[in-house]
Chains A and B, each alone.
Chain A
């Protein structure tokens, strides 16, 4: 049984980008927000340290310095026109949130307070600058709550626990060519509480589905971050951009991957190796522990590799906060210090905290222009289709995102996508018709998995997922080589084969989360292959992508984004898209 819905704008995902888009779109057009969770469960709520904006509330700052830092932090793979917009609109993005009620920390004068964060500097690298607007170490929580509260105020229509599984386009984006047109027509979703399939006809569709951190084992990401939106776009024939660039956040709780904000270092925390040495002085003499995340993560992994790791297995380093006043820690870093106490039994007032890099953020994703319109190749858009937030690639983060730029990204480009999608819908007279068999693929997928219950399938979802995540951690993490990537590629292909023989165990129709996890694994397996393909194709080291066999950046050949296409026969092809350079020519990246 299929239920049909019709809206002007359908937004998939209810994290920061999705809800920021909804606040704009629902003022202008009939809008639905579809989420596989409840909005307040979205992973925006786990972001901690802050949101960058050159407010100049505590020291001199400006959008141009912010733009430069973003471009340099992204190792010059950033599209500079997009970064200029990001940093220029940052100030209003913060002020908008404040006016919506977001409880930012305050300066003594009552203004929004700001603090230091990695890679954000005064005057093109002179010293760390206080640019991150924050609410203790729960800035993402406050953003998510505030946006949800505003959605309640505006009576935004939510479809909670509806899992979108297919995007309906009116043509094949890979066959449209230079003269053809392809437009969005809607999405198909599976309702978790009933097992029913729903179709949503719409003039505009916005994907704001978040990241794909669960391709890795050690990750700060939620269990639910399985790259569904990226995977749906890929299956629909849309390319994915720069997927080889994955950020490993330096300070995950050792062994667990739970995020400890960079704000810990912004507030004065220091990384030390087994000799007690502040090793970042060797890697980034000017800004030390506040170097960009890719550099810090690599430095940490290198310390461990060279035998200066801590603990019984010498497999982590230490984040030292013991020189900070406990009252300062309580005021500025209450949540992350509680995580250390709860999960590792470590008291950060008196003991350094074991940390190691954790898979954190996909710089790549569904390619868009600065209006949020999705690209089907290097130049053409899919009409009526938008993406924003971590699932999208504008690209403002390039090869390495600066901390606090993602909470900014979701607000700036979520807002832009919401406005553009509503305006497009209002300029479009007729809602596209869905084909009669619009829901067929989703129904077939669900039926096929359901039939595996009690059947001959011998593979378990959890086992395949575990092997996938282990090979990704071992071979596609901070350090990569052609051998490690080839090994991972082989394992992923083998796991994709084994996935065909998977069996689930829940026969029920209601809240069949067993079925859900099997579908999610399908996305993870496809996305892993794209990550690896991009990493194999990029024979240089840049930002978060470090090839030990090609240890330097190669601007002559690789000032280009990868564009990965999945072909009808299942193969993944790489193409390249030039980086947009406006002001900043690539320079050596020193901190």
Chain B
């Protein structure tokens, strides 16, 4: 059972290929003669299938070559938001990026997402990110007594904020934003997406509280419409559009 010899390719089997990953590592412990806090690039070569995810390749490295390689992951199909990382200089989820969609002729560059403190290898401190999310009061606010049955909402009103309900808090948008990288105060696009989801929910009555927060110096006016966030979102949320809708609401006083 321990033999690892590959079975001969069966009919319909996907051909394997050799892939090199160049990973930006960070050693918080100072092992193997390194100083604690050393950042360094390391290359790994693995056999993989074209249909494998970058996450599969990272697992192969961890499970077969270097158990100390650290990254977060859970669901492995793009819904839990654990494994956002910079792959070939673009923020993506490792579990939603297939090797065949990257150029296998060149090493695949893998780095932690930018703008949050790196803790180990591809793991960053997510706390500042979640703190910004909490700032915008991401929960339904209503007044008066709740109805006995559900609050009514037309399908059209429900559709109004559908896009921003898809957010999985992976931080791919926020950590792709050049303003977020350089400005330690800016909430970042995700917090605005999180606010948008409630501001445009017909049931919510806290929209002006949230807009007030987003009107602040750390808020929505910092956005320079770079569109990085929209490109980075693994859920296909039109982040820049959501931000512009928030700006429009602030400019016109209309939601």
Contacts and interface: CB of A to CB of B under 8 A. Distances in A.
Interface of A: 37-38, 40-43, 45-46, 94-95, 98-101, 103-112, 135, 138, 141-142, 145, 149-150, 152-153, 193, 222-224, 258, 311-313, 335, 339, 342-343, 345, 460-463, 467, 491, 504-514
Given A106-B154, A510-B119, A514-B67, A222 B80 contact: yes
B255 to A, nearest CB: 17
B76 interface: yes
A38 B150 CA distance: 30
Contacts of A38: 82, 126, 130, 169
Contact of B149 (A95, A101, A150, A462): A95
B31 A46 contact: no
Interface of B: 1-2, 10-12, 27-29, 31, 51, 62-64, 66-68, 70-82, 96, 98, 119-121, 123, 126, 130, 133-134, 137-140, 146, 149-155, 157-158, 161-162, 165-169, 198, 201, 203-204
Which of A41, A43, A460 is the most central at the interface, judged by chain B CB atoms within 10 Å of its CB? A41
A217 B83 CA distance: 21
Contact of B140 (A101, A135, A467, A512): A101
A138 B130 CA distance: 22
A411 to B, nearest CB: 15
B158 A45 contact: no
Nearest to B14: A255
Contacts of A149: 138-140
A258 B80 CA distance: 13
24 contacts: A41-B74, A43-B75, A98-B150, A99-B146, A99-B151, A100-B139, A101-B139, A101-B140, A103-B201, A108-B154, A108-B155, A110-B155, A142-B165, A145-B165, A149-B138, A153-B139, A222-B76, A311-B12, A342-B78, A342-B98, A343-B51, A491-B1, A506-B68, A507-B68
Contact of A505 (B67, B78, B98, B150): B67
Contact of A40 (B10, B166, B168): B168
B31 A507 contact: yes
B238 to A, nearest CB: 14
B31 A109 contact: no
B63 A339 contact: no
Contacts of B2: 463, 467
B46 to A, nearest CB: 13
B66 to A, nearest CB: 7
Given A222-B76, A509-B29, A511-B120, A313 B12 contact: yes
Which of A141, A224, A258, A513 is the most central at the interface, judged by chain B CB atoms within 10 Å of its CB? A513
Nearest to A136: B162
B138 A152 contact: yes
A504 B62 CA distance: 11
B67 to A, nearest CB: 3
A25 B237 CA distance: 35
B78 A508 contact: no
Contacts of A111: 149-150, 152
Given A101-B198, A313-B11, A508-B28, A335 B70 contact: no
Given A467-B1, A508-B28, A135 B165 contact: yes
Contact of A46 (B29, B66, B80): B80
B16 to A, nearest CB: 15
Which of A95, A311, A467, A510 is the most central at the interface, judged by chain B CB atoms within 10 Å of its CB? A510
A513 B59 CA distance: 12
A342 B98 CA distance: 8
Given A42-B80, A98-B150, A514-B67, 5 more contacts: A135-B165, A142-B165, A223-B75, A342-B98, A511-B28
Contacts of A513: 62, 70-71
B10 A313 contact: yes
A41 B82 contact: yes
B79 A141 contact: yes
A333 B75 CA distance: 19
Contacts of B149: 95, 111
Contacts of B153: 106, 110
Contact of A510 (B1, B12, B29, B78): B29
Contacts of B74: 37, 41, 43, 222-224
A41 to B, nearest CB: 4
A45 B79 contact: yes
A330 B98 CA distance: 23
A153 B139 CA distance: 7
A504 B31 CA distance: 15
A461 B138 CA distance: 40
B120 A508 contact: yes
Nearest to B27: A508
B151 A342 contact: no
Contacts of A491: 1
A223 B73 contact: yes
Contact of A258 (B27, B77, B139, B166): B77
B155 A505 contact: no
Q: Which 5 A-B pairs have the closest CB atoms?
A: A312-B12, A101-B140, A505-B67, A462-B63, A110-B152
Contacts of B70: 506, 511-513
A106 B2 CA distance: 54
A142 B167 CA distance: 10
Contacts of B96: 342
A275 to B, nearest CB: 19
A224 B11 CA distance: 33
A135 B119 CA distance: 36
B142 to A, nearest CB: 8
B4 to A, nearest CB: 8
A107 B153 CA distance: 9
B72 to A, nearest CB: 8
Contacts of A467: 1-2
B111 to A, nearest CB: 16
Nearest to A458: B2
Contacts of B119: 193, 510-511
Nearest to B75: A222
Given A101-B198, A106-B158, A152-B138, A508 B68 contact: yes
B140 A138 contact: no
B207 to A, nearest CB: 13
Given A40-B168, A223-B76, A224-B74, A100 B140 contact: yes
Contact of A99 (B10, B72, B150): B150
Contacts of A339: 77-78
B79 A507 contact: no
A95 B150 contact: yes
Contacts of B62: 462, 513-514
A45 B168 contact: yes
A343 B55 CA distance: 13
Nearest to B60: A462
A107 B157 CA distance: 12
Contacts of A335: 79
